[in-house]
Amino acid sequence: MTMPKQDTDAIRSFQGLEDARSSVRLRAALAAGTTPDPRFVDKLVQRCAIEPDFYVRDMLTWALTRHPAAATVPRLVDEVRSERAQARSQALHTLSKIGDRRAWPAITRALLTDADDEVARSAWRAAVVLVPEGEETELAAVLSAQLGRGGRETRLSLSRALTALGEVIAPALRAAMTHLDPRVRAHAIATERLLRDPDTGFEFAIEEAKRVVALGENGGEG
């Protein structure tokens, strides 16, 4: 008895996602998204958690966005509770791409303040996409509490997330500008500059902010 072509394609995709060659895994993920099949969802999500190649992970996310949200969102919401940081990060990233606000309750304070920078960055991006109308101010307060955190990429991600919320972040930024930690003050000033002038580069904004903070500290000594 001949197996239906759809079944053979599914088996081939499943096998391809396990191949040692990233090029084969990339093609398998592309195939899974080109011809969506509910049977792919679990496998795609599972692979996201362990896939080492950035481009393959990106294709896995794309493949998941090609499937109905009713099939993917519940599975991804489960995944954001995983103990594996990459699983949480990639699930959050995929939820941000799907944009289904039914996933909002899964974006917890614990994820927004996750100790892993990649997880936190993915949570920030997902949050600003999924936040319901009227809850932006509360989200801005949680995000602004992370100002000064991490290296350049983390700080840039946070600034982008905050400015995406718009004017509701202004009070939180003003409060952060008086923080005892100069890194927090500088990050808040830079983010406020980006809010006012989105064309300002982050590096320029942060260097300007550092100068403002340094001048303030020197002035205080005088």
Q: DSSP secondary structure string, 123-146?
A: HHHHHHHHPPTT-HHHHHHHHHTT
pLDDT tens-place string over residues 87-103? 999 999 999 999 999 99
Q: Which pLDDT score, from 0 to 100, does residue 14 have?
A: 76
Q: Which pLDDT score, from 0 to 100, does residue 15 have?
A: 85
Q: Which pLDDT score, from 0 to 100, does residue 31 have?
A: 93
Backbone angles phi, psi at 105, to 5 degrees: -60, -20
139 within 8 A of 131, measured Cβ to Cβ: yes
Q: What is the mean pLDDT of each run of 10 residues along the chain (222 residues)?
A: 52 83 95 92 96 97 97 98 98 98 97 97 98 96 95 92 94 93 92 84 68 62 38
- Number of other CB atoms surrounding residue 50 within 10 Å: 11
Q: Which pLDDT score, from 0 to 100, does residue 148 have?
A: 94
Q: Which positions ≥6 away from 109 have C-beta within 8 Å?
A: 142
Comparing C-alpha atoms, which of 127, 98, 133, 128 is closest to residue 111? Answer: 127
154 within 8 A of 117, measured Cβ to Cβ: yes
Q: Which pLDDT score, from 0 to 100, does residue 1 have?
A: 41
Backbone angles phi, psi at 200, to 5 degrees: -65, 130
CATH superfamily of 8-130: Leucine-rich Repeat Variant (1.25.10.10)
pTM, two decimal places: 0.86
Q: Which pLDDT score, from 0 to 100, does residue 196 have?
A: 86
73 within 8 A of 44, measured Cβ to Cβ: no
Intervals of CATH 1.25.10.10 along the chain: 8-130
